């Protein structure tokens, strides 16, 4: 199963399904979020930024956890595909972290009266962005890609301690950022009409990540296996 | 329509958020496609050069 060629073909077949389901959930999520969900009694329409900010923040943590797990597997079993998963996730993870920070700031200005504050939640999320950028820089700095993969695996694992800190920062410290209002267990603090678009957007961003990480991984596999016979045959097939 | 676009006076905060999300989603979608095409053309060029050298 682990052979790059097998992965390249299987991933190729899966990407369209991820893409279609991503688009459908995105359109439904944005339609519900902007047109159906009622305005908030305190924040009015500005809370609609939540439908981008919260899913992006979820993704920034989810993707880093995937990278840390892939890092552990790569360090222990040195499987090529998991190494490729780490670097293929890094830029989309960094993008979602950046998106979460900027949309949070755009939401904070009207609601808190400031673009930025050195709050435990905001600061730990900013640290997460630097971790992502560090992983991208480290990977491109090392010539031998197998060695580079080991290096980013270690960095991803070292940095994973930051994820619970981000998640629980609002409970542990007295933060300006609100505590979590979506729980997997117990009664929801949010009305369902507001919760549905949020969950739709959450699902759609995960499906988006599925498609993008596979697309990046395919490009990485081609680059790594550029001298192998199966890649030559593939290219010759496309050259005709 | 304009009332909708106004977003209750928060248009300046809501629309840039959705706009940036759109830009990021498109950029991260296009970039692996370009990367894959670049790798394929590099390999194709190398193969053509090897074929010429063998003649």
**Which residues in chain A have their CB less than 8 angstroms from residue B9's CB?**
44-45
Average of pLDDT values for A177-182?
A: 85
Q: CB within 8 A of A145, min separation 6: which ones? A: A83, A139, A224
Chain B: nearest CA to A43, how far in angstroms?
10
CB contact under 8 A, A49 and B40: no
Task: Let me know: does A205 contact A52? Beta carbons within 8 Å.
Answer: no
- pLDDT confidence of A187, banded at 50, 70, 90? confident
Between these two residues, A33 and A191, which has the higher pLDDT value?
Answer: A33
List of chain A residues whose C-beta atoms are within 8 Å of the C-beta of residue B17: 49, 52-53, 102-103, 106-107
C-alpha distances (whole Å) from A172 to each of A51, A75, A119 are 25, 32, 12
Q: For residue A183, what pLDDT is reported? A: 78
**Among residues A153, A86, A151, A8, which one has the least CA distance to residue B39?**
A8
Task: Sort out which chain B residues have CB atoms less than 8 A from A95's CB and list them.
Answer: 24, 27-28
Question: Which token pair is A237?
Answer: 């097939």
pLDDT over 90 at B4, yes or no:
no
Strand partners, A40: A44
- DSSP label at A41? T
**DSSP structure string for A100-122:** HHHHHHHHHHHHHS-S----HHH
Q: How far apart are CA A178 and CA A171, in angstroms?
A: 9
- Token reading at B13: 């905060």
| φ and ψ of A44, to 5 deg | 65, -130
ipTM of predicted complex: 0.91
Q: List the beta strands (DSSP E) in chain A.
A: none
């Amino acid at each position: 199963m682990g052979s790059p060629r097998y992965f390249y073909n299987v991933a190729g077949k899966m990407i369209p399904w991820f893409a279609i389901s991503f688009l459908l959930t995105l359109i439904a999520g944005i339609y519900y979020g902007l047109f159906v969900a009622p305005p908030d009694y305190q924040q009015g329409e500005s809370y609609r930024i939540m439908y981008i900010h919260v899913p992006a923040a979820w993704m920034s943590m989810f993707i880093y956890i995937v990278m840390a797990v892939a890092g552990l597997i790569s360090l222990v079993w040195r499987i090529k595909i998991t190494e490729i998963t780490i670097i293929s996730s890094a830029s989309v993870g960094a993008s979602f972290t950046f998106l979460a920070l900027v949309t949070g700031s755009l939401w904070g200005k009207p609601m808190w009266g400031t673009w930025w504050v050195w709050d435990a939640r905001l600061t730990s999320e900013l640290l997460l962005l630097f971790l992502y950028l560090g992983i991208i820089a480290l990977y491109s700095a090392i010539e031998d890609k197998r060695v580079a993969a080991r290096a980013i695996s270690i960095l991803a694992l070292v940095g994973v301690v930051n994820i619970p800190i981000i998640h629980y920062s609002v409970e542990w410290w007295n933060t300006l950022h609100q505590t979590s209002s979506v729980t997997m267990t117990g009664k929801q603090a949010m009305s369902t009409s507001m919760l549905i678009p949020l969950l739709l957007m959450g699902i759609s961003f995960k499906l988006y990540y599925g498609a993008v990480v596979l697309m990046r991984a395919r490009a990485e596999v081609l680059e790594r296996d550029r001298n192998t016979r199966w890649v030559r045959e593939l290219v010759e097939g496309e050259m005709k | 329509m304009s009332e909708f676009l106004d977003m209750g006076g928060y248009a300046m905060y809501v629309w840039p958020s959705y706009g940036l999300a759109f830009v990021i989603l498109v950029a991260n979608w296009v970039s692996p496609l370009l990367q894959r095409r670049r790798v394929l053309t590099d390999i194709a060029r190398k193969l053509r050069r090897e074929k010429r050298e063998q003649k």
